[in-house]
A = this chain, B = another copy of it.
Amino acid sequence: MSKEDLHIVKIGGNITGSPDKLADFLARFHKLEGKKIIVHGGGRQATALSEKLGIKAKMHEGRRITDDEAIDVAVQVYAGLVNKKIVAQLQSLGTNAVGLTGADMNLIKCSIRPKDPIDFGWVGDIEADSVNVEQLDKLLNTGAVPVFCAITHDGNGNLLNTNADTIASALSAGMAQKYSGVELTYCFEMPGVMRDIKDPNSLIREIDPTLYDQLKKDEVVKDGMIPKLDNAFDAIESGVSKVHIQEASTLGTESGTTLIK
Contacts and interface: CB of A to CB of B under 8 A. Distances in A.
A139 interface: yes
Interface of A: 49, 52-53, 72, 75-81, 83-85, 87-89, 91-92, 96-101, 103-106, 135, 138-139, 142-144, 151, 153, 155-159
Given A85-B159, A87-B101, A142 B153 contact: no
A213 to B, nearest CB: 40
B75 A81 contact: yes
A135 B98 CA distance: 11
A88 B138 contact: no
A104 B105 CA distance: 14
Given A96-B135, A99-B104, 11 more contacts: A75-B84, A76-B76, A76-B77, A77-B80, A84-B101, A89-B157, A91-B153, A92-B157, A96-B106, A97-B103, A139-B142
Contacts of A99: 79, 101, 103-104
A122 B227 CA distance: 41
| A contact patch SS | helix
26 contacts: A49-B76, A76-B77, A79-B79, A79-B80, A79-B83, A79-B99, A80-B81, A80-B83, A84-B151, A87-B101, A87-B103, A87-B104, A87-B153, A88-B158, A91-B106, A92-B155, A92-B156, A96-B106, A97-B103, A98-B100, A98-B105, A99-B101, A99-B104, A135-B142, A139-B142, A142-B142
A91 B72 contact: no
A18 B151 CA distance: 23
Nearest to A156: B92
